Every structure is written in structure tokens, then in C-alpha cells.
Amino acid sequence: MVAGAGAVAGLPAIATAGDHGHEKRAMPKKLKILVLGGTGQTGPHFVRQAQAHGHEITLFNRGRRSSEMFPDLECLIGDRMAEGDEGLSALASAVGSGRTWDVVLDVWPHIPKVVEATATLLKDNTSHYMYVSSMSVYSDSATKRQDESAPVGEAPDADNMEFGWELFGPFKAECENRVRRLYPDRNTIFRPGLIIGPRDFSFRGGYWPVRVRDGGEVLAPGTGETHIQNIDVRDLVDFELLCMERNIGGTFNVVGPHPRTPLTMKRLLETCKAVSKSDAEFTWVPAEFLMEHQVGPWMQMPCWLPSEGEYAGFGWHKVDKAVAAGLTFRPLAETLEDTLTWYDGLEDEQRNGLHQRAGISSEKEKEVLDAWKARNAG
């Protein structure tokens, strides 16, 4: 359910962040950045921000949306999931011709051999490799206030295993391991939590602002006091770019809100209501009753996991290291407002598709609310 050698000659060596994430030296003012991907949820935000900072961007992806989204950027066409070497041939040709980049940003794959193949190909042609992993790497989600040193899942034999979503965390952890082996002093690993904001096509961050804006009685999970964590996609990419520009290495939990202002489900939903000025009223229903009526956490009740049991610590990860390195958080209200604006700008077919991915239908919501009222009346 929760459900992932030495520097190139002439390029600067990476500065390891250590426990506090402080940079030691800066990268060149204008960076040459290779983005592996770049057209999904987070990539477009990063590319536009990096362009705004004056950096030179090269994309490597399947080319399905690049020319439409970024007609002014060079895009090397390939498919990292293809069997054999053909999928990387365009990138291999660029490497063979002597192309180099200051930084590579590997946005989201979760198959270790895919990450390893590309990282190996680029090893002598970049001074630094950044990999976007996931908070799901942690093997223990019950313990609260864990930092980046907490145990992670293991999948050393991943190349001989058939992937299933229950292996997402261990596979992401193994991707991290392979990046570190190839770039022992030249890596930055980002472990984001639930990524929300514009372009959240999972709809896990969009369900609540849309549903609350519609008003009326809203089925809400638990008591409202459950701690939750998420990260605005733009805060994530701002931190990625900051680490590039300041040459910061290390592994970071990248999730909000700020440790001084913890977020609960109640505050999330009340902020949704304030932003949309709706007449929504929240009926909080215990986890046990929801499960009895086939309403599960995370996908059907997005952002939320029960405050007891195997995921009791999932909303409590420590982010002090990233904050010390420069991670910042925009106001929750801004994220929710921008999510609604993005949602409203989609075609009807796209919006309908989102509602199939997360949340529950209005019919199911009414069914569960009626059952809850009947139980209380009885």
C-alpha cells in the first residue's frame, strides 16, 4: 500500500553534507543538468525552475511529451525499461562523443537494474548523481520520529525477482545502494513522502481539496488527530535545485510540514474548507468501522494511515537534516489553492480519470455515512 569513484576531470568534487547538510563549496553558477525523465509529476516543475535559474538542461526520456512541454530543450530519446542496450543508445552515443554534465537527476524509477545501468553509463561523464527515492524505503513504519539512519528494506537479489508493489520500498532502497556504490562521494538521495500539489495525477493530494470544496457532509477518517506528512512538489524540486547549486550530498527525508508545525488530518481538512469557503461538515469515523465497510486508508482515504499499528509512525519522520540544509515549506493553503486551480484546468476526461485513482465515490461515501448514523442511533 505504502505503497523507492572520483569526480570527472575538470568538474568540481561533491561536498558531502554529513549530519547537518551544510555545503562546503558551490557548483558553477550555470550548471549543465541531465534530467532522466522530466515530463511526469515532478520533472516539469524541476525543469522550469532550473531554467528560471539559468541552467542548461538536457532531457533523456521516451519523447512522448517532451517536444510539446519543452520544445526549446534538447531531448535524447530512449527507453530505460527496454531490454538490452538499445534503450540507452542515444545516451550512450552522447557519452561516447564526450558529453559531460555537472549533475544528473534521476527522477523516479524503482527497478534497481534500470537505475544501475544508467548510473554506470554516466559514471565518468558527470561529477554528481542525484536519485529521487521514497519514504517507503523504511522497513519499520510503526516507530515514530525516525531519521535517515533508520533501517530500510532489502532486496539484494532484485534482478532475479518479479516486481510487485509490496516490493516498492525494498527495491527503492536497493536503487539507493547501487547509486552509492557507483558514486560513493558524489551522490544525493532524496526520500520524499507523499508528493502533492499541481500535477498530482495520483490524486492522493487532490481528493480532499476537491471533495471538501463540493461541500455537504464529508466522511473523514479516524479522529482527526492523526499526524500526516506530505511535500508540495515545488518545495521538493526547490530543494533538489538548492542541493545542486550548493553542491550538497547525502541522504535526506524530504517531507513536510516544518517540525515546528505538525500537520493533522483535522488541520488538513479545515484548511481545505477555509481555502474553498465551502459549507463542508466533517463526520469523523473510526478506522475499524471504515475497514468493516471496505474503505481503506491511503488510497480510499488519501493522506491518512491509522495512528496505531504497523503505520503508526509514518506521519512522524524527522526532517531536521533537510531543514538544516535549506528545505523550506510553502503555506498549506497555497498548495491547496494551486491544486484546485490545476484540477480546474484539466479536461473533463482527465478529471474523471483522477477520481478513479484515489478517494471514494459519492455513493460509497453516503453508504458509509448512513451506516455510521444507523449504528449510533441504535
Question: Distance between CA atoms of 102 and 188, rounded to whole angstroms?
Answer: 13
Report the pLDDT value the prediction gives residue 26, as an integer from 0 to 100. Answer: 61
Average pLDDT, 10 consecutive residues per value, the chain (378 residues): 33 38 58 96 96 97 92 95 88 97 94 97 97 97 97 96 94 98 98 98 97 98 97 98 97 96 97 98 98 97 95 96 98 98 98 97 98 92
Please report, for the chain, the start and end positions of each structural domain, with discontinuous segments joined by +. Answer: 15-196+230-254, 207-228+260-315+331-372
Report the pLDDT value the prediction gives residue 29, as an integer from 0 to 100. Answer: 87
CATH superfamily, domain at 15-196+230-254: NAD(P)-binding Rossmann-like Domain (3.40.50.720)
Q: Give Cα separations from 119 to 37, 122, 161, 171 (angstroms).
A: 14, 5, 21, 16
Angle, in degrees to the nearest 10, between helices 233-246 and 43-52: 50
Report the pLDDT value the prediction gives residue 84, as an integer from 0 to 100. Answer: 75
Nearest to 152 by CA among 177, 118, 121, 123: 177
Nearest to 271 by CA among 332, 199, 347: 332
Question: Distance between CA atoms of 344 and 213, rounded to whole angstroms?
Answer: 12
Q: Which helix (H) or strand (E) holds 337?
A: helix 332-344
The pTM score is 0.91
Residue 267 CB neighbours (<10 A)? 16
| Backbone CA torsion sign across 192, 194, 195, 197 | negative
Listed in sequence order, the DSSP H helices in 64-159 are 66-69, 89-96, 112-121
Question: Distance between CA atoms of 268 and 209, rounded to whole angstroms?
Answer: 9
DSSP 138: B
Would you tell me which CATH number, out of the four given (3.40.50.12240, 3.90.25.10, 3.30.70.330, 2.130.10.10), belongs to the domain 207-228+260-315+331-372? 3.90.25.10
Is residue 157 within 8 A of residue 167, CB to CB? The reply is no
